[in-house]
Chains A and B, each alone.
Chain A
């Protein structure tokens, strides 16, 4: 039983670390976009390599948590749900990385007129991910607060969609070649997608929270 307590504490800390990594990745993503928009490309590349590390670390943590949950038969009733949440959340980091990698490869030219909209879309998406991290933490520690955070995720997702749409409209209003317009649209959609991913995890989380309730 003492071993079980030790394992439990260890897995708890690993879950916390995993969520910390997700949160760090989201904030780093925001800073990377700011760097890119402001032309600090070297700093942007540094952020990208940081995110690559976060992604590896998140993968390692998730695999380790999965292994412990199954090997030590911890939370048998909620094990499947917890793993589903962790896997879906991990995918958000993957998407964040993929988005930045695309920026790094394609180096799309951003019109300074739209800087503010790019940043606002990014902030809304990152805020959705941060609220998701709160919601997941609450799922583990404070079930009553989960819905509150889920509500905020939905809010930021709508906000990201709204600003993203505005951004895309303005992109197609720019006097640039259609291929460039399409390229920028894809980047805008990539950023919006991050908040959509957060919302998808929340949809699962809302059901799992109901299941967890007595």
Chain B
């Protein structure tokens, strides 16, 4: 059953290979600086390396949108995202995996009656625009920086061409590595808890973890995507929007890699925080938007006369259509999955307003009298609670979301073995694991109960009223760790 469910993840992987590799090597292949077969080989090697060595960490922002909590749901969401991409790829228009996944998750949230956070949708959508603009600005500036160097260079044309070729390969390889590292979790990450792969020890020197084997499988699907379909998208990126020269292709790839790095590097994020400088939000941005932004930046730097605005317009329209199409597909397919194939697309969630939760809400959020519409009742959907509580004028949306989180029944059983099986144990340091061990075997009904128990220890202590960026970052990192624990300790998770 696992492998059947995994198919949609692998299909999504194929889409990633067909679509996103085009973003990295499209310009280089179209300027004939690198042959397609060589670009495909480099991309295949580095996507696989990135996936196997660093392919971890689910997207925080996607998590905020909604965490798909059942395998049937994950399968359907992946399938809807992949089908949406395929339909776009067939038309030769590059779209983003990120866009269709966001759309598909929104479809899932709507279908399962979860509350959709409009703020998160705005953050994600604005990051697409911001990344596009930033990439255009960086490419524009890089162009003006490189132009005098190239025009005054006394290096032989052939030697210059060779250097550009080396750099394109190096930057492209880095981009492919980052693609594997950053996107593989979105592709097969949802299958980790149910993966049947066991760790394999290679001559006692290296342990090939079960998670890595799963990522390798994902990487293989990406590689198949690269070889079977990426050529068409490369053409659109490298030729149709604006005709690039080898040097401008290098600038575009470099700008793209920089922007992806800015938005993806936690190390850079932490460094900027320590230096007291403004940071980039750590959101999963689309390499498609970024490369198109870079190409437009170069086109504008060259006077903007030869930019194909008709193709750009088509692209922009696709950026709106893709998430909507994915959301619609996801919604319809979830309906079919649940009602025709009778598969579970979400975990049954209950929300209780008993003595424990109401006391907690009264302590933390609002007066107990405001809870009168829900007090003593049990709910099965977030929207239902929201509908009841929004009649209370004193409660804003944020407070209601917090109330829902407190009331959610989420049975947890602390077990280091389960954490090990989930593959997330490496995210915790020894001190944190020692603290978790002290709670071994304990059961909790709500997420916040486990959090309370852990926060008594300094290694899990969050800053109550964070003011600085460093403090906010610390809390965010703790939130991520707690999410991993909730995911691992939920009964029914673990290897089957």
The yes or no answer to A116 lying at the interface (CB within 8 A) is no
Q: In the complex, what's the smallest C-beta–C-beta distance from A206 to chain B, in angstroms?
A: 15
A73-B32 contact in complex given A8-B162, A143-B151, A214-B248, C-beta closer than 8 Å: yes
CA distance A8 to B165 in the complex (A): 12
Q: Are A77 and B152 in contact, CB atoms less than 8 angstroms apart? A: no
Contact of A214 among B32, B35, B143, B166 (CB under 8 A): B143
Nearest chain A CB to B326's CB is how many angstroms away? 38
Q: A12-B156, A78-B157 are in contact. Are A213 and B165 (CB under 8 A)?
A: no
Q: Which residues of chain A from 136 to 154 have any CB-CB distance to chain B below 8 Å in the complex?
A: 139-144
Known: A75-B157, A78-B157, A141-B155. 19 other contacts (CB 8 A): A4-B165, A5-B162, A8-B162, A11-B158, A12-B156, A74-B158, A75-B158, A76-B33, A77-B31, A77-B246, A140-B156, A141-B154, A143-B151, A212-B157, A213-B150, A214-B143, A214-B150, A214-B245, A214-B248
Measured between C-beta atoms, what is the minimum distance from B281 to chain A in Å? 33
Is A214's CB under 8 angstroms from B158's CB?
no
Asked if B147 CB lies within 8 Å of chain A CBs, one says yes
Q: Does A1 contact B (CB under 8 A)?
A: yes
| Interface pairs A-B: 4 shortest CB-CB | A76-B32, A214-B147, A75-B161, A140-B157
Closest to B157 in A: A140
How distant is A3 from chain B, measured CB to nearest CB, in Å?
Answer: 11
- Most A CB contacts (10 A, CB to CB) among B151, B156, B248 go to B156
B102 within 8 A of A: no
Main secondary structure of the interface of B (DSSP, over half): helix
Q: Indicate if the CB atoms of A144 and B33 lie closer than 8 Å.
A: no
> In the complex, what distance in Å separates the CA atom of A4 from the CA atom of B169?
13
Residue of A nearest to B160 (CB): A75
CB proximity to A under 8 Å, residues B173-188: none
B158 and A77 contacting across the interface, CB-CB below 8 Å: no
CB proximity of A103 to chain B, nearest CB, Å: 37
Is B438 in the interface zone, CB < 8 Å from A? no
Which residues of chain A (4-38) have a CB below 8 Å from chain B? 4-5, 8, 11-12, 15
The verdict on B153 contacting chain A, using a C-beta distance below 8 Å, is: yes
- Within A59-108, which residues are at the interface with B (CB < 8 Å)? 73-78, 82
A144 touches B151 (CB 8 A): yes
Closest-CB distance, B157 to chain A (whole angstroms): 5
B159 within 8 A of A: yes
Q: What B residues does A214 contact at CB under 8 A?
A: 143, 146-147, 150-151, 245, 247-248
Given that A73-B32, A76-B31 are contacting pairs, would A12 and B151 also be in contact in the complex, using a CB cutoff of 8 Å?
A: no
B238-270 residues with Cβ-Cβ distance < 8 A to A are: 245-248
- Give chain B interface residues in 324-354, CB to chain A under 8 Å: none
Judge whether A139 and B157 touch: CB under 8 Å: yes
Interface flags for B129-163 (1: CB within 8 Å of A; 0: not) read 00000000000000100110011111111110110
Chain A residues within 8 Å of B155, by CB: 141
In the bound complex, how far is the Cα of B158 from the Cα of A82, in angstroms?
A: 11
Closest to B161 in A: A75
Residues of B within 8 A of A139 (CB): 157
Contacts of A140 in B (CB 8 A): 156-158
A37–B151 alpha-carbon span in the complex (Å): 45
* B residues near A78, Cβ cutoff 8 Å: 157, 161
Chain A residue contacts of B156, Cβ below 8 A: 12, 140-141
Question: Which chain A residues lie closer than 8 Å to B162 at the CB level?
Answer: 4-5, 8
Complex: A142 Cα to B165 Cα, angstroms: 20
Residues on B with C-beta less than 8 A from A213 are 147, 150-151
Compute how far the CA of A139 lies from the CA of B156 in the bound complex, rounded to whole angstroms.
9
CB closest residue in chain B, given A142: B154
A140 to B247 alpha-carbon distance, docked (Å): 16
For A209, the closest partner residue in chain B by CB is B151
Q: Which residues of A contact B35 (CB under 8 A)?
A: 73
Contact check, B31 vs A1: say whether CB atoms are below 8 A apart.
no
Residue from B152, B153, B161, B247 within 8 A of A74 (CB atoms): B161
Show 22 A/B contacts (Cβ-Cβ < 8 Å), sorted by A: A4-B165, A5-B162, A8-B159, A8-B162, A11-B158, A15-B158, A73-B35, A75-B158, A75-B161, A76-B31, A76-B32, A76-B33, A77-B245, A82-B157, A141-B154, A143-B151, A212-B157, A213-B151, A214-B143, A214-B146, A214-B245, A214-B247
Contacts of B158 in A (CB 8 A): 8, 11-12, 15, 74-75, 140
- Closest residue of chain A to B152, judged by CB? A144
- Measured between alpha carbons, how far is A185 from B16 in the docked complex, in Å? 72
Nearest B residue to A145 by beta-carbon distance?
A: B154
B247 to chain A, nearest CB (A): 6
Residues on B with C-beta less than 8 A from A77 are: 31-32, 161, 245-246
